[in-house]
């Protein structure tokens, strides 16, 4: 079985074809970093427009190496949320059109589930995937949370950030330091040459007992430091500052991930999402996992950042479990929890619109 995956939830237009065993047959990603860089963050309207421009060439690119093109594909998987609604709709309409005209099954995939299963993608240089159960730390620009995966469909959220995502903290701090967008890779690079003990910064929610995160206090401390003293001017001071900030973030991420494994009685930890590319995080997680006797799994960077291969694979798992969607599948911007019905709005919280007041007839009171 071969699944065509389409991803357009944020600032990457992506399509890929993946086998049911996770083998990646094609994988195309068109990044919009250049479009958003001048604004220091993703601009939803520009993202949707760029998806419109790129989605067809990207899908065609993913089908090109497949024998028979679309005839060689058995199902269409598409990200239906969480993400930017205008952006999601572009991928969704393309997926529905293909599914309808070709009579193929349509499978909606939660973007977060895609990230959590990305470690099973089989491509060159990819390490052996972990057995179930495993704990996964998902750290990206929009999400920071810990999950326990018992199978591709039994996923429990153990804790998440109360405010900013870790990637968001990297991006905002980079902006404060005048380092451009996206900030994670730049801070990572500078931090490698810096002294992480040079600056006193707060430890973000360091208590080991809970599995929640919070990065807004750390970001505020950086903002206050920059407001009082300005951004570090010399190359070395800037590197030291980045190293101090990064150490605070990666230490709490790695500690709580190991604690989550111990709490759940699980021996395998997976790092995934864009921030999993961070060398400091990989290093700190390696150290702590070694001490605790936990096996660490980090997918290749191309599988950690947004891509459609992870969506296609998650779709293949859902289809193998006998689940698929129909052409009325909606997109959704946020979901508080992962799960089958996570994308459905809480009907109790939807207020009925007020009945319009009947206009009074002359003479009525």
Q: Which residues of the shown chain bind ligand KG4 in the complex (CB under 6 A)?
A: 10, 140-142, 167, 170-171, 182-185, 188, 273-275, 277-278, 305-306
Q: H-helix or E-strand containing 15?
A: strand 12-19
Nearer to Zn ion, 30 or 140 (CB): 140
Taking the complex as a whole, how short is the minimal distance between the CB of residue 9 and ligand KG4, in angstroms? 7
Q: Which does 305 bind (CB under 5 to 8 A by kind): ligand KG4, Zn ion, none?
A: ligand KG4
Angle between helices 216-229 and 235-264 (to 10 degrees): 170
Q: Which does 83 bind (CB under 5 to 8 A by kind): Zn ion, ligand KG4, none?
A: none
User: Which of the 8 DSSP states describes residue 310?
Assistant: H
Residue 225 and residue 220: Cα distance in Å, rounded? 8
- Smallest gap from Cβ 185 to ligand KG4, in A, equals 5
Nearest distance from C-beta of residue 100 to Zn ion, angstroms: 27
For tokens 């030291």, what's the residue? Answer: 240
Euclidean distance between CA atoms 255 and 262, whole angstroms: 11
For residue 3, give the nearest of 330, 314, 340 by alpha carbon.
314
147 versus 199: smaller Cβ distance to Zn ion: 147
Beta carbon nearer to ligand KG4, 26 or 305: 305
Q: What would the x/- binding string for Zn ion be over residues 48 to 87, using CB under 5 A?
A: ----------------------------------------
φ/ψ of 18, rounded to 5, equals -135, 145
Q: Which two tokens stand for residue 357?
A: 């007041």
Secondary structure element (H or E) that encloses residue 107, with its range: strand 106-110
- Which stretch, 95-103, 121-129, 305-313, 348-356, contacts Zn ion (CB under 5 A)? 305-313
Q: Is 246 in the site for Zn ion (CB under 5 A)?
A: no
| CA 313/CA 114 separation, integer angstroms | 7
- Do 66 and 22 touch, CB atoms closer than 8 A? no
Q: Which is nearer to Zn ion, 78 or 243 (CB)?
A: 78
128-147: contacts with Zn ion (CB under 5 A) = 140
CB-wise, 170 or 313, nearer to ligand KG4? 170
Residues forming contacts to Zn ion in the complex (CB under 5 A) are 140, 306
């Amino acid at each position: 079985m071969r699944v065509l995956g389409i991803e357009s939830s944020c600032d990457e237009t992506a399509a890929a074809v993946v086998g049911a065993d996770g083998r990646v047959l094609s994988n195309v990603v068109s990044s919009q970093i250049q479009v958003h860089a001048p604004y220091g963050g993703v601009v939803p309207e520009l993202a949707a427009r760029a998806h419109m421009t790129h989605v067809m060439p990207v899908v065609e690119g993913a089908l090109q190496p497949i024998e028979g093109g679309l005839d060689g594909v058995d199902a269409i998987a598409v990200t239906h949320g969480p993400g930017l609604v205008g952006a999601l709709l572009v991928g969704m309409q393309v997926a529905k059109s293909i599914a309808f005209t070709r009579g193929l099954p349509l499978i909606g995939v939660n973007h977060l589930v895609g990230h959590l299963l990305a470690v099973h993608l089989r491509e060159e240089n990819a390490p052996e995937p972990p057995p179930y159960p495993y704990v996964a730390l998902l750290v990206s620009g929009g999400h920071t949370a810990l999950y326990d995966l018992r199978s591709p469909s039994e996923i429990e959220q153990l804790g998440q950030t109360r405010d900013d995502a870790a990637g968001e903290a990297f991006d905002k701090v980079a902006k404060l330091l005048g380092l451009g967008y996206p900030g994670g890779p730049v801070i990572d690079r500078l931090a490698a040459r810096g002294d992480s003990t040079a600056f006193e910064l707060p430890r973000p929610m360091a208590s080991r007992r809970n599995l929640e995160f919070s990065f807004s206090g750390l970001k505020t401390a950086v903002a206050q430091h920059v407001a009082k003293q300005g951004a570090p001017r010399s190359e070395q001071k800037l590197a030291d500052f980045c190293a101090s900030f990064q150490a605070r973030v990666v230490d709490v991420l790695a500690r709580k991930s190991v604690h989550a494994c111990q709490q759940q009685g699980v021996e395998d930890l997976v790092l995934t999402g864009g921030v999993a590319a961070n060398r400091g995080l990989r290093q700190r997680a390696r150290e702590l996992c070694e001490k605790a006797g936990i096996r660490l799994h980090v997918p290749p960077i191309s599988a950690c950042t947004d891509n459609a291969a992870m969506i296609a694979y998650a779709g293949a798992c859902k289809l193998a479990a006998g689940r698929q969607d129909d052409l009325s599948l909606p997109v959704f911007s946020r979901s508080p929890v992962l799960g089958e019905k996570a994308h459905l709005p809480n009907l109790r919280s939807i207020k009925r619109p007020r009945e319009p007041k009947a206009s009074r007839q002359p003479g009525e009171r």
